[in-house]
């Protein structure tokens, strides 16, 4: 009888969890709510709301504001579930629940007690990309890697689990993605020799479901030598160790601090892995698989269906963690399930997300010079590999040699700041960096918990261009072409939002929220918020009125000089010098600004 009771209880629990996340999927279909950081599982960051549109967005005004009480970089966005807004901060990762029915009154506040010693081992500022919601819980992945489930109504801790060890350099900056009865979380720390992984925990109690490492033995990376495919061919045995020298894979990087997407029909989760450790390529010969890789994994088991390594043996710190945007588009008369990815390496990729077939790989910033392009001939042994220009190869130039004029810089033609996609225009709207660098690798030894970088960098605007450090572009993913481009003085470090009103929103490092025409890129509206914007634009409705929200609070890698009070141009891995002029336009802050049309 006890066994029967346990079995039926387990079935009931599974059914309940499935129903809970079916409810989450239905909530995603309600444009009045913003229930996941990416807008939906597809990472499209598209809203069907059109009350604010290209004809009236110029009339938009501030509706209300909220101070987070925290400085440094504010990435991510709030969530809106029903009449409650859930808002997060950078370290110490405070979570607020605000009552939209009561003038934004604080319903509850959660402030974790974290050791401030985690701050020095966080690369590129103390940012956090937001909370997640599922099954009546708010999920927070703290800087110290503690994953916390909070009661959405009360803020009480329902369970918590440590995903990593900050003393080894393992930290977190990413959001959490709920999928079915699990939540998926990544890990940061590639600059400390952390071996990257994606981990699934059970929503009900935080118990471990599976963990897939980025490199290591087949059992660690959850790859089937015969059935996990790489550009149409099996990966083979020991694919996660045989392109590493000795046991270097154990400190190999490939961290997973970006964004995750999910296709419920295929039951596949998509994400990217980061740079191999160290930044000195001479110390880690080989392709360093599976760093710099797009992964497609079964959500239930973590087993990889297919992989594609974009930058084998990365020599420039071009982390591959940026978002994977899922679309259905017609190519050669056939509708296909596509995945589009704008990589730090400056190439925009389009793949068939069912099979992993590579369809497009083109430069989305004309300044990119480290490669002549990707080999697209399927019969070539070099198929899928970028062709490296020797002049900009930091390995060929050698250790202690300053390779100059490399484009893009290490922070990429685009970092984690997410793009948006509009099914109306079939265009992607991409916040980009227009930055180049000098890069000098040097030999470094590994000590757990200490920086494991091995390179000195300087950054500056791309030469022979508009003089600025960024562009906001519209991209045709099927053709691999820029449709229009808006030059910006600094990198565009804000996540974009596209709407059915044919408006695209984004923020700037100086602090402007901007609205542009989705078809032409013409500026329709701008407003200066109190601090630089590295947050992501979101939208929701309340009382039948559409609102647009954005977090301002300068920081992140581009704003690390301001955020951390650094002055040496080489600090912040070269960003302090590159973005020194930013202090002439903005200062530290931490505020949510919400906009609406006049009543």
Alpha-carbon distances of 15 from 20, 105, 135, 152, rounded to whole Å: 8, 35, 12, 21
* Cβ atoms 141, 175 nearer than 8 A: yes
CA distances from 263 to 106, 323, 354 (A): 35, 14, 10
Residue 242 is assigned to a ligand binding site: no
**In angstroms, what CA-CA distances link 375 with 178, 228, 310, 384?**
36, 22, 11, 5
User: Do residues 224 and 230 lie in contact, with contact meaning Cβ atoms separated by under 8 Å?
Assistant: no
Please indicate if the annotation marks 317 as binding a ligand.
yes
Say how far apart CA 44 and CA 25 lie, in whole Å.
Answer: 15
The token duo for 17 is 């969890």
* Helix, strand or coil, per DSSP, at residue 47: strand
The C-alpha atoms of residue 553 and residue 93 are separated, in whole angstroms, by 14
- Looking up tokens 């004029």 gives 405
Backbone angles phi, psi at 54, to 5 degrees: -65, -20
What's the rounded Cα separation, in Å, for the pair 552 and 574?
23
Structural contact between residues 214 and 251, judged by C-beta atoms closer than 8 angstroms: no
Distances (CA, A) of 406 to 145, 163, 318, 410, 442: 34, 36, 12, 9, 17
Annotation-wise, does 371 bind a ligand?
Answer: no
The span from the CA of 195 to the CA of 198, in Å, is 10
Helix H or strand E encompassing 402: none
- Between CA 158 and CA 59 the distance in angstroms is 44
Known catalytic residues are 317
Least Cα distance to 435 among 401, 402, 461, 403 occurs for 461
Antiparallel, parallel or unpaired: β 46-47 and 497-499: parallel
| Cβ-contact 442, 449 below 8 angstroms | no
* Helix extents (H) in 281-381: none
Look at phi and psi of residue 155 and say left if phi exceeds 0, alpha if psi is from -120 to 50, else beta: left
Q: Are strands 261-263 and 233-234 parallel, antiparallel or unpaired?
A: unpaired
Q: 173 labelled as ligand-binding?
A: yes
Judge whether 255 is annotated as a binding position.
yes
- Measured distance between the N- and C-terminal CA atoms of the chain, rounded to whole angstroms: 63
CB proximity list for 153: less than 8 A, separation 6 or greater: 136
List Cβ neighbours of 224 (8 Å cut-off, separation of 6 or more).
Answer: 218, 303, 304
CB neighbours (10 Å) of residue 545?
13
Distance CA 341, CA 330 (A): 18
Determine whether the annotation assigns residue 191 to a binding site. yes
For the annotated binding site, the residues are 75, 129, 173, 191, 255, 275, 317
For the annotated binding site for pyrroloquinoline quinone, the residues are 75, 129, 173, 255
For the annotated binding site for Ca(2+), the residues are 191, 275, 317
């Amino acid at each position: 009888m006890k066994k029967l009771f346990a079995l039926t209880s387990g079935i009931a629990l599974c059914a309940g969890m499935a129903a809970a996340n079916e409810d989450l999927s239905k909530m995603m279909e309600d444009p009045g709510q913003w229930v996941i950081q990416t807008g939906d599982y597809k990472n499209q960051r598209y809203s069907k709301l059109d009350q604010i549109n290209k004809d009236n967005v110029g009339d938009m005004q501030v509706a209300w504001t909220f101070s987070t009480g925290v400085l440094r970089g504010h990435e991510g966005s709030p969530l809106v579930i029903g009449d409650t807004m859930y808002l997060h901060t950078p370290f110490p990762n405070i979570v607020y629940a605000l009552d939209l029915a009561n003038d934004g009154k604080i319903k509850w506040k959660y402030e974790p007690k974290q050791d401030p010693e985690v701050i020095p081992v966080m690369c590129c500022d103390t940012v956090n990309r937001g909370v997640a919601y599922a099954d009546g819980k708010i999920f927070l992945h703290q800087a110290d890697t503690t994953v916390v489930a909070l009661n959405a109504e009360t803020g009480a801790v329902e369970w918590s689990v440590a995903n990593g060890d900050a003393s080894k350099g393992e930290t977190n900056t990413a959001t959490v993605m709920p999928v079915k009865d699990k939540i998926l979380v990544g890990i940061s720390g590639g600059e400390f020799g952390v071996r990257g992984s994606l981990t699934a925990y059970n929503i009900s109690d935080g118990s471990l479901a599976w963990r897939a490492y980025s490199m290591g033995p087949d059992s660690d990376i959850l790859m089937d030598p015969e059935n996990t495919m790489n550009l149409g061919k099996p990966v083979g045995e020991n694919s996660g160790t045989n392109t590493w020298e000795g046991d270097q894979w154990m400190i190999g990087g490939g961290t997973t601090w970006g964004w995750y997407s999910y296709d419920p029909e295929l039951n596949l989760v998509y994400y990217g892995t980061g740079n191999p450790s160290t930044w000195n390529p001479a110390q880690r010969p080989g392709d360093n698989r599976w760093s710099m890789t797009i992964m497609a994994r079964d959500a239930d088991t973590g087993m990889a269906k297919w992989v594609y390594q974009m930058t084998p043996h990365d020599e420039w710190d071009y982390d591959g963690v940026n978002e994977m945007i899922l679309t259905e588009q017609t190519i050669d008369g056939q509708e296909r399930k596509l995945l589009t990815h704008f990589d730090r390496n400056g190439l925009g990729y389009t793949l068939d997300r069912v099979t992993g077939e590579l369809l497009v790989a083109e430069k989305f910033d004309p300044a990119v010079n480290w490669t002549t392009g990707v080999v697209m001939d399927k019969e070539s042994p070099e198929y899928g590999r970028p062709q490296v220009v020797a002049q900009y190869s930091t390995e060929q130039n050698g250790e202690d040699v300053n390779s100059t004029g490399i484009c893009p810089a290490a922070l990429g033609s685009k970092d984690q700041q997410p793009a948006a996609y509009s099914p109306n225009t079939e265009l992607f709207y991409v916040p980009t960096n227009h930055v180049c660098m000098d890069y000098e690798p040097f030999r470094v030894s590994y000590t757990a918990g200490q920086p494991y970088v091995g390179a000195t960098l300087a950054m500056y605007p791309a030469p022979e261009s508009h003089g600025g450090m960024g562009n906001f572009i519209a991209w045709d993913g099927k053709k691999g072409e820029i449709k229009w481009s808006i030059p910006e003085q600094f990198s565009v470090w804000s996540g974009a939002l596209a709407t059915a009103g044919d408006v695209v929103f984004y923020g700037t490092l100086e602090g402007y929220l901007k609205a542009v025409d989705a078809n032409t890129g013409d500026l329709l509206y701008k407003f200066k918020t109190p601090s630089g914007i590295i947050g992501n634009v979101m939208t929701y409705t309340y009382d039948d009125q559409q609102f647009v929200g954005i977090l301002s609070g300068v920081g992140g890698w581009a704003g690390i000089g301001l955020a951390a009070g650094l002055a040496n141009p080489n600090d912040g891995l070269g960003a302090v010098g590159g973005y020194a002029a930013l202090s002439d336009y903005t200062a530290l802050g931490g505020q949510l600004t919400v906009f609406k049309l006049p009543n």
